[in-house]
Amino acid sequence: METLGRMNNRLSSPLTKPDRRHLTRVLGACLPVAVAAVVAGCGGSSAVSSNAASSASAGGASTSSVLVSEMLEGFFAASGAQLVDGNQFATFENVAESAAEDRCMRARGWKVAMPDTTRANIDAESHSFEDNPIWPNLGWIRAHGMFVAPGGGGSQVGLAINATSRAERADYGRCIASSEAPMQPFVNTIRPLTDIWVNTVLQLQQSPSLAGDKAQASSCLTQNGVSTRGARSLNSFLSYWVQSAISAQPRGAERIAFEHRWVKIFVRCATPLITAEQDLEEKSRKAFMQGHYQQLTAAGNEVVRGLAKLERISGVSTSVVVRKS
């Protein structure tokens, strides 16, 4: 599981090389149900979906329109469930760019290991953020009695290259650049919008209307053995439970029981607060999507074009990550 500190750092840090490839994670992995449905619900049209579908058909990538919706969920979610759904887009981009790098390096004569492009590996990667500190996936956590899926976030997609020569390092840099090029127009369009959305959510979570729910959650946590510092916020608790697990070092069945105990406490104490936060964020998200409709349409079209190019240079089909109905 990725440490919460690293997640939080990524919220404010610029996009850097490996972070740029994991766009959803960079934003703390910040992020709707399908934007077409959201915007339509606000009185807009479903142009994002229809444009994406027609472009996908023309480009030979029949599943791209689905990933457009996944992308928008991943970057502009109002709940943990939406964030995890949206991770399908990030995992495809990650795997496809890694595969493209692999092909590029092999074409230049270097021996590299192909990343795991199976659905099982990608599904595991998509569950890396059940315990995201801004959007915890409460329903999943409650249902599974865990904060993160077993193995979630542990699948090693991407080139694990240990360049031994200047020539190899130079080729790797060229291959990285060529694998990232298809999605760069999308990155340039979406980044300003995600900055606005993350700041909006963080402000909403400081709303005075949540003060009572926050106080209740904090009191409940301390009554169940959490330190005062660990009970200050949901983020503080998630950090607290991770450190508790590190200190206790439970093994096997004890490890599972240890996590189950903390999950029950978290669900009991945090549910009212998380529900109230999501209600505020959902209302704000609809207005946000409506207000930035043209920019989101442009981003969706750039995704379709970028994914079609990624499929060609990587050999990885978007069908490996399209959400199962």
Place of tokens 């992995």: 29
Q: How many C-beta atoms lie closer than 10 Å to residue 160's C-beta?
A: 10
- Output the pLDDT for position 244: 87
pLDDT recorded at residue 169: 87
User: Of 103, 117, 111, which is closest to residue 157 (Cα–Cα)?
Assistant: 117
The tokens of 168 are what?
A: 């190899």
- Report H helices in the chain: 4-12, 17-21, 23-26, 35-41, 47-59, 64-75, 80-107, 119-126, 138-144, 166-180, 184-204, 211-223, 234-248, 252-291, 293-314
CA distance 303 to 169: 29
Q: Which of 228, 315, 218, 199 is nearest to 269 (CA)?
A: 218
Rounded to whole angstroms, the Cα distance separating 72 from 191 reads: 12
DSSP letter assigned to residue 147: S
pTM of the predicted protein model: 0.72
**Would you state the pLDDT for residue 63?**
58
Q: What is the pLDDT of residue 64?
A: 59
Q: Determine the Cα–Cα distance for residues 323 and 89; give it in Å rounded to an integer.
A: 10
Half-sphere exposure of 291 (CA within 13 A, CB side): 9
Do residues 198 and 307 touch, judged by C-beta distance below 8 A? no
Question: What confidence score (pLDDT) does residue 277 get?
Answer: 96
**Cα gap 153→121, rounded to integer Å:** 10
The Cβ of residue 46 has, within 10 Å, a number of other Cβ atoms equal to 15
pLDDT value of residue 7: 28
Task: Tell me which residue of 68, 75, 70 sits closest to 88, measured CA to CA.
Answer: 70
Rounded CA-CA distance 77/268 in Å is: 23
- pLDDT < 70 positions in the chain: 1-65, 114, 128, 150-164, 320-325
Tens of pLDDT, residues 37-55: 444 443 333 333 334 334 3
What pLDDT is attached to residue 223? 96
pLDDT of residue 162: 57
Do the Cβ atoms of 323 and 73 come closer than 8 Å?
A: no
pLDDT at 217: 96
Domain boundaries, the chain: 4-208+283-319
Torsion region of 167: left, alpha or beta (phi above 0 gives left; psi -120 to 50 gives alpha):
alpha
Structure tokens at 312: 């060609």
248 — alpha (psi -120 to 50), left (phi > 0) or beta? alpha
d(CA 233, CA 217): 8
